[in-house]
């Protein structure tokens, strides 16, 4: 199937210029690249602009309740472990009312790629500040500027013991496709944070990272086993000092032997990279590890113990009779 064959006949109802269009396009191209089977693919979403995506993809899909997509996706994987389930959510949907469900999906390591659209605002409900909104951000619900500390999806995922954490953005289509494919290939919960511009309610939130003129000074890409080099001249790198990341100049210039070599399996350095929430931020696979997958462990336990009736289960162990 070609990318266009994965699209439905539904009118796409996002605002003109919304970054969601790019994510939709890259996902259909990824489906073509990996040969996704529409009859075995399920898109699960919650509530929000991002969560309209299942309407536009010609696979199985479920537009669920606000914040409940991780719970629904877990149920689908338990019922059909071989199904290719994708979770589509936003910063408000996943990190506010859905925060509890997301944490448990990650810690259980359900085999689901998670596309987390982060635009740092509630777009569908017309521009209230969200859990990822930056301090001082003006919105419909914070006219004097947000006083809350912004929630960092990557550090939250690290704290929940997620087995795959990555970041990309809507305006880097090739990189976004690469990260989607990597998330799908991972065996377990794969959180992919996608910086997505809301050009109506929070336009330019990621301009310093997406604009080619500024991005060179504000972004760096990480690849496993490769040195981290920063800046136009690639003459800077990182070092870890008492748990904090510092940018240092290579001396002599070009001597990559001094550079921080990225190791996706190192949780200490991965957490340090994930905490970089200022004017310089990493993109790529931040962390990845292997551990048991939830639905496989559940079915293994069921196979070992055998099927039991609900009545037997309810009357097992210590009970009271009245």
198 located within any domain: yes
Per-residue model confidence as pLDDT tens digits over 90-120: 999 999 989 999 999 999 999 999 999 999 9
166 located within any domain: yes
44 located within any domain: yes
Report the length, in residues, of the chain.
Answer: 322
Domain count, the chain: 2
256 located within any domain: yes
Asked if residue 240 and residue 134 are part of one domain, the reply reads no
313 located within any domain: no
Asked if residue 273 and residue 211 are part of one domain, the reply reads yes
Q: Rounded to whole angstroms, how far apart are CA atoms 248 and 239?
A: 7
Residue 275: what pLDDT? Answer: 96
Asked if residue 238 and residue 108 are part of one domain, the reply reads no
Q: Rounded to whole angstroms, how far apart are CA atoms 60 and 49?
A: 19
Per-residue model confidence as pLDDT tens digits over 210-240: 998 899 999 999 999 999 999 988 999 999 9
Per-residue model confidence as pLDDT tens digits over 139-154: 888 888 888 899 999 9
The domain containing residue 236 runs over which residues? 228-260
Asked if residue 141 and residue 72 are part of one domain, the reply reads yes
Residue 320: what pLDDT? Answer: 80
Asked if residue 237 and residue 219 are part of one domain, the reply reads no
Asked if residue 10 and residue 31 are part of one domain, the reply reads yes
Asked if residue 132 and residue 240 are part of one domain, the reply reads no
Asked if residue 170 and residue 238 are part of one domain, the reply reads no
Residue 308: what pLDDT? Answer: 82
Per DSSP, the residues of 84-144 read EEEEEEEHHIIIIITHHHHHHHHHHT-S-EEEEEE-SSBTTTTSB--TTPPTT--BTTBTT
Calculate mean pLDDT across residues 149-175. 97
Asked if residue 192 and residue 140 are part of one domain, the reply reads yes
Asked if residue 135 and residue 168 are part of one domain, the reply reads yes
322 located within any domain: no
Asked if residue 132 and residue 255 are part of one domain, the reply reads no
List the CATH number of the domain containing 98: 3.40.50.970
Asked if residue 248 and residue 144 are part of one domain, the reply reads no
């Amino acid at each position: 199937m070609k990318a266009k064959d994965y699209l439905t006949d539904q009118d796409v109802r996002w605002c003109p210029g919304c970054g969601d269009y790019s994510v939709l396009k890259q996902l259909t191209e990824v489906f073509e690249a990996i040969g996704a089977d529409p009859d075995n693919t399920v898109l699960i979403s919650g509530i929000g602009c991002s969560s309209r995506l299942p309407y536009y993809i010609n696979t199985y899909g479920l537009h669920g309740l606000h914040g409940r997509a991780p719970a629904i996706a877990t149920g689908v994987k338990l019922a059909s472990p071989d199904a290719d389930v994708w979770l589509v959510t936003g910063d408000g949907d996943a990190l506010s009312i859905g925060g509890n469900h997301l944490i448990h999906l990650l810690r259980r390591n359900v085999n689901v790629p998670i596309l987390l659209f982060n635009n740092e605002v509630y777009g569908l409900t017309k521009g209230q500040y969200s859990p990822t909104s930056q301090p001082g951000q003006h919105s419909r619900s914070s006219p004097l500027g947000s006083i809350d500390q912004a929630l960092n999806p990557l550090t939250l995922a690290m704290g929940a013991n997620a087995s795959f954490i990555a970041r990309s953005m809507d305006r880097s289509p090739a990189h976004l496709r690469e990260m989607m494919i990597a998330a799908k290939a991972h065996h377990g919960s794969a959180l992919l944070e996608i910086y997505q511009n809301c050009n109506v309610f929070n336009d330019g939130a990621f301009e310093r990272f997406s604009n080619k003129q500024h991005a060179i000074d504000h972004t760096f890409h990480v690849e496993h086993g490769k040195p981290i080099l920063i800046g136009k001249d690639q003459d800077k790198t990182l070092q870890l000092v008492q748990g904090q990341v510092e940018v240092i100049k290579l001396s002599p210039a070009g001597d990559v032997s001094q550079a921080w070599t990225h190791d996706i399996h190192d949780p200490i350095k991965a957490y340090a990279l994930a905490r970089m929430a200022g004017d310089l931020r990493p993109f790529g696979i931040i962390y990845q590890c292997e551990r048991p997958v939830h639905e496989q462990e559940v079915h293994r336990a069921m196979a070992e113990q055998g099927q039991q009736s609900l009545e037997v289960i309810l009357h097992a162990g210590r009970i009271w009779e009245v």
